[in-house]
Amino acid sequence: MHDKTPEEVFKELNTSPLGLSEEEAQRRISFYGLNEIEERRENLLNIFLRQYTNPLIVILIVAGILALFLGDWHDSVVVLGLVLINGIVGFYQEVKAKASIESLKLLTRQKVRVIRDGAEREIDASLLVPGDVILLSEGDVVPADARLIEESGLLVDEAILTGESVPMEKYSYPVLEKDTPIYERLNCVFKGTVVVRGKAKAVVYATGKNTQMGLLASKLEEKPPKSPLTVAIGNFSKKWVIALIVIISLLVLIGIAQGRDWKFLVFFGIAQLVSAVPEGLPIVITIALVVGALRLVKNKVLVRHLPAVETLGSATFICSDKTGTITEGRLRVEDYYSLDEEALLFCSALCNDSDGKRGDAVDLALLEWLDRIGFNWLSVRRLFERVWEHPFDTRRRLMAVVVKNGSSYDLYVKGALESLLNIADHTPNNLIKMHDSMAERGLRVLAFGKAVLDRLPDSIDSLKIEILGLVGFLDPPKEGVKEAVEKARRAGIRLIMITGDNLLTAKAVASMVGLYRDGDLVIEGIQMAKYSDDELYELLKRVSVVARALPEDKYRIVKVLQSKGEIVAVTGDGVNDAPALRVADLGIAMGSGAQVSKDASAMIITDNNLSVIVQAIMLGRQISANIAKVIRYLLSTNMFEILYNSLAILTGKPLPLYPTQILWINLVTDGVQDKAYPFTKHEGDPFREKPKKSQEVFLGRKQLFYVIYNGIIMAFGHFILFSYLLEKYPYQTTLTISFLSAVVSQWPVGIQEIGSKPFLLNPISYIKLNPYIYLGISVGLLLQLLAMSIFSDFFRVEQLSIEQLGYALIIPFVVFVALEVRKWLEYLYEAYRR
């Protein structure tokens, strides 16, 4: 379409500047399909089969088949049956988790402004069709390939498509040669590229897989990255498996040396290896993250990148915008100072991109002010046609327009006072004093200027203007922000407000919400250049406000903090925030912000409020704690099984658990109870806790101590009981008691590990922490009854008397008491320290 005029494009696509009718758009969707680049999806059969491709499961299947050939069909049926059930459960959980993740994705779909039936409306970008007329503005991600019809100061970043790092100027008027390469098509915009500056109207000619990005995506399939926690667990699991193989191999060799049946020992070794590896952990972590993401949705936080949920609770710094996050973001003119009042009002009306309903907050506030004082800005705009413009520039901090005024031209400019003084012919008396007076009251102050020209300017830098006056905007702090700042401080999170505002204004606003306190430092972005990274880090630990900050300043702050091990959450809403959002540990975009900032972020908050971010971090701590608890529970039970059997073999006693019983314990305890952990509520006040690094939370020293403590208590308790029962009862009876006790004793571990406070401190409150854990125990109890009765032959168990059942409950009681004592000692120690 680059080789055609806009009129020819309209004709070929059978559309017009008024857009398509809704009826025609629906017809074209059925023909062209949705405007989406389809991801390669794994079909259900592959997901199901993948449950059986784990090397440990394959070994187990081979062992089951081998048992059948050796004539032990009971064991074969149990092993293969458990493998089948485990695969079905894993398949169901994975499919359900994928469905939840897909539903979360739907909440963060891109929206686009489109003209249909001659009226502007906002629709889901996936509903665009060839022939649609779209409207683009700064910060938008281009939703489809389109031919420009109109444009004003349009600058597009096409690095994602062409690799060119310098944004490209775009124009609607050129008609190019048919063989013009992509990177030279000045009159087209392409799906996935970003509008850096300006605005445009364009007609869509390609959607979905037919776009340039779609053609590229079909050649390059990119797998989503694994989360840091998944990688950490994977690395730990590899080491754990190697250690298990060494330990179990030694046990098998010792057993053979003792004269035990080698075939039985090999079968035992395989069963022990499979049970001791927490192969179900990744899916439980995914469930925990999905449950956490759904909870965040209820707290007005949409999750775009699921692994970010696990990092949320570890945040140590929040680098926040001012406007719209700490303040209302709804500006109103509070005060003004004029040197030429009429020209100041004209400048406010003409150097303004708002239509009175939509637009930048500053522009909307100016028009609302003009309406309030009875100035007819619509009539002024009709009289003076805009013929040139310099869109707002974050580096120069100004915007300028030129309007036709008879035979001459009037240039109007608005922006930061220091920016306008750079191109002013002189500095009026009292101007700086009036500016500082407004800024110290927390007002956002803009300066306005004018120049009369005899021709259109080549550049804003070559002009000399006359200052017309100042306008002060009030942007009051949001309700709840002051409390959120205090909560964040109490939780050990440092807040830095990074803003483009004047230093005095920024400091005044920060003081209002308690973010700036006596002793804190306030710096300007330009000052950062004189510090090395190490010096800047030390400075940032005392800084609460960075004023007059450029996007690269924000980016550097994030990188410096990260280099020192800090976990940084960054908020942003504009196209210039995208670099910092992308590199941050937690990029948080505003729901009302530019599409590019949303695409660069891991999360989007629908209520642009700092208090929502702080609350989300607290919820993140709860999610991290739940993941840590399920890791602790699974590793504790795995350690128990390996230690218990090791003690029996090393002391020459018969095995206390039969191989099929070991596999059953893995299904009934680990496979049922662990799925309840993601639903655990938080204990106490998360705002009183300090941030902890993920590695410390999930696999730190304290965590490993708990695992070893729990495993030793269960293993030695069972071994002592088993040794005693061997003297009292036949081996088969002792084996049955041992099997039942091993299953039941893991339930109190599951109960005790859902909370850090003692169970008996407040039993009712403790039970309310997670009622689902008791549901899991109920399911486990039902399954165990089936194993002990209907399937008793398969599991080599016999019916027990009341006395024998009592023996099976001793160690579960001991385990509960031992964990309760540990928690009471910790609770009393913490109370003593406070």
- Which residues participate in catalysis according to the annotation? 321
DSSP 209: G
User: Is residue 146 classed as helix, strand or coil in its secondary structure?
Assistant: strand
Q: 96: which 2 tokens?
A: 């359900």
Strand pairing category for 168-169 and 194-206: unpaired
Distance in angstroms (rounded) separating the CA atoms of residues 288 and 286? 5
Cα 323 to Cα 509: distance, rounded to the nearest angstrom: 10
Strands 586-590 and 543-547: unpaired
Q: Closest Cα partner for 499 from 544, 469, 541, 432?
A: 544
In angstroms, the CA 637 to CA 742 distance is 9
Q: What is the signed CA dihedral for 542, 544, 546, 551, rounded to 10 degrees?
A: 100
Strands 133-137 and 398-405, bridge-based pairing? unpaired
Beta bridge partners of 335: 472
Q: Burial of 809 by CB count in 10 Å (0-12 exposed, 13-18 middle, 19+ buried)?
A: middle
Residues 6 or more apart whose Cβ sits within 8 Å of residue 827: 757, 758, 761
Give the CA count within 13 Å in the CB-facing half-sphere of 456. 10
Distance CA 780, CA 750 (A): 12
Tell me which residue has tokens 């500016």. Answer: 435
Please give the structure tokens belonging to residue 494.
Answer: 């440092």
Beta-carbon contacts of residue 24 (< 8 Å; ≥ 6 apart): 131
Other residues' Cβ atoms within 10 Å of the Cβ of residue 804:
18
Give the bridge partners for 647, in sequence order: none
Distance CA 363, CA 372 (A): 14
How many angstroms separate the CA atoms of 497 and 546, rounded? 6
Q: Distance between CA atoms of 736 and 743, rounded to whole angstroms?
A: 11
Residue keyed to tokens 């009251």: 441
Q: Are 756 and 819 in contact (CB under 8 A)?
A: no
What sign for the dihedral angle of Cα 810, 811, 816, 819?
A: positive
* Sign of the dihedral defined by the CA atoms of residues 592, 593, 594, 598, in that order: negative
User: Do residues 569 and 588 touch, judged by C-beta distance below 8 A?
Assistant: yes
Amino acid at 78: V
- Joined tokens for residue 477: 């702090």
SS (H, E, C) 398-434: EEEEEEEECCEEEEEEEECHHHHHCCECCCCCCHHHH
**What b/e string do you get for 336-350 counting C-beta neighbours within 10 Å, with b at 16 or more?**
bbebeeebbbbbbbb
Q: At what angle do helices 610-650 and 731-752 cross, to 10 degrees?
A: 160
Give φ, ψ of 700 to 5 degrees: -80, 180
3-state secondary structure of 825: helix
Provide the 3-class DSSP secondary structure of residue 30. Answer: helix
Residue 680 phi, psi (nearest 5): -70, 135
Q: Kindly tell me the burial class for residue 389, based on how many C-beta atoms sit within 10 Å of its own C-beta (0-12, 13-18, 19 or more).
A: middle
Integer Rg of the chain from CA: 34
Angle (CA) 29-31-37 rounded to 5° is 65
Outline where 258-360 has alpha helix (H).
Answer: 262-276, 281-298, 308-312, 341-350
